[in-house]
Amino acid sequence: MALPKSHNYDPAHVFDVMVIGSGIAGMAASLFAVDRKLSTVQAGSAGGTLFTSGLLDLISVYPIEEKKMWADPWEAIAALRNDESLHPYARISNDEIQSAFDEIISFLNSRGMKFRCERNRNLKIITSMGTVKYSYCVPESMWHGVEALEKRAPCCIVDFRGLKEFSARQIAATLHETWPDIRPFRVPFPGMEQRNEVHAAHLARALELSETRIALASEIKPAIGDARYVGFPAVLGIRRTPVIQAHLEKILGLPVFEIPMMPASVPGFRLKEIFDTELPLKGLLRLIDKRVDSVTRAENGNFLLNIGGEEQPQLIKARTVILASGRFMGKGLLSDRKGIYEPLFNLPLSQPSGRHAWHHEQFLNPAGHPINSAGVEVDDSFRPVDGTGRVIHENLYAAGSILAHQDWMRMKSGSGVAISTAYAAVNAIMRVIMDRSIRDTA
């Protein structure tokens, strides 16, 4: 298949790694691969990271049916491993998980999106619904919110007329019993006073201008009173959040923090921009908003991946593939009346025996639904296996939410599963490369 002349890579080139997917698992796998000097290409929809809140969860809820919350995520993982030997965390050591987080956080910190973590403690943070959740790593822009919640300090929560996905009044009402000194304040956003509806991304871009921040602060100051912190929806810019936050703190004379919002979120935009701009500088070939249509294998075992549809088809050759295509939303898994299936490699899946067993009778069953844990079975190297444990392709790996035996949404472990399994898959590829190199030089 001929490549369009506009592409600046050799169609005969064979990449070390092809990453399928652009969510947290796909982006993490791409980062880990290029960090290890593997020639890497990635394909996936452009918006995979937009659906993150900016928080990097490890795990905070287990068992799901008991909704038990864990202050120490490592204790939760130990309990999980003891009960569920097939969960992805059971295949990775604590040191590997921590190293995976360290590597991705170091990358993000160096690119201006700083995170705070405490090694053996989940952090409590308020959400846009007024609930309190645990998370392992929080953006620096949200850190003062962790402090304010711990201290139950007098706090003013600001929202904006027309911002429908965030209500300071709801937050204050929900938290009032345990945090009586929290109060809401609604203001029109400078320059958008006449609009009936405003959107988070538009507010974030407007706050890149210092005059907007000065005008906003002048609206807020009358409501501060004895407040010791000021909370905002997560709209403090996209490219220069630390500068914007510091400027607002200087004008208001108080610590300022962001509150995570529903997706698609501004912190998700920040992550997307960093990954999209910085990973190619490290050597990644990003095929943005391109999907893998089909996959075949050459006689030598390499994968041949057809990408991009009929208008501008592309053929990518890769020695290994990391499948990080997600679940139903990312179309990594599809379903029909016969069951759930994986569309690219036709991998066998762990799933309920029939559609009748996909869901419990109660929609809000505290244990979740069996379909939530359906997915790809893997071995200890994160290579997909069949029902007998046989590896399907020795050079195919899987990472992230497509993996079976985990319910990341209810366990609050989405980023942790994504990052750590991507790390494990890339390191498994490196071990194979090292073994071959040793054999070739022996």
Helix (H, G, I), strand (E, B), or coil: what is residue 336? strand
SS3 423: helix
pTM greater than the 0.75 cutoff: yes
Q: Which two tokens stand for residue 291?
A: 């999907």
Show the tokens assigned to 95.
């040191």
Q: Phi, psi at residue 132, to the nearest 5°?
A: -115, 130
Q: Which domains does the chain have, with CATH numbers?
A: 18-107+269-441 (3.50.50.60), 128-259 (3.40.50.1860)
- What was the pLDDT predicted at 439? 62
Q: What is the pLDDT of residue 98?
A: 97
User: Could you tell me what percentage of the chain is helix, strand and coil, using 3-state DSSP and rounding each to the nearest 5?
Assistant: 35, 20, 40
Say if CB 97 and CB 420 are below 8 A apart.
yes
Q: Is omega for the bond preceding 343 within 30 degrees of 0, making it cis?
A: no
Provide the token pair at 179. Answer: 């945090």
At 400 the pLDDT is 97
114 φ, ψ (degrees, to nearest 5): -85, 145
Residue 256 phi/psi, 5-degree rounding, is -120, 145
Q: Please tell me the distance from the alpha carbon of residue 208 to that of residue 29, in angstroms, as a whole number.
A: 31
Query: What's the CA angle centered on 389, arms 339 and 306, to 5 degrees?
Result: 60
**Number of Cβ atoms within 10 Å of the Cβ of 109:** 13
CB 87 within 8 A of CB 103: no
Name, in order, each residue with C-beta under 8 angstroms of 59's C-beta and a sequence gap of 6 or more. 70, 73, 76, 77, 80, 89, 411, 412, 413, 416
Q: Which residues of the chain have pLDDT under 50?
A: 1-7
Classify 12 as helix, strand or coil: coil
Closest by CA to 257, choosing from 26, 47, 36, 54, is 54
Rounded Cα gap, residues 334 and 407, in angstroms:
17
In this structure, are residues 233 and 163 in contact, taking their beta carbons and an 8 Å threshold? yes
Q: Which amino acid is at 94?
A: N
The pLDDT value recorded for residue 148 is 97
Q: Check residue 441 and give its pLDDT.
A: 63
Token output for 271 = 């992550």
351-365 confidence digits (pLDDT tens): 988 888 788 888 878
Give the largest Cα separation in the chain, rounded.
Answer: 75
CA distance 54 to 263: 10
DSSP 264: S
Dihedral angle sign, alpha carbons of residues 133, 137, 140, 143: positive
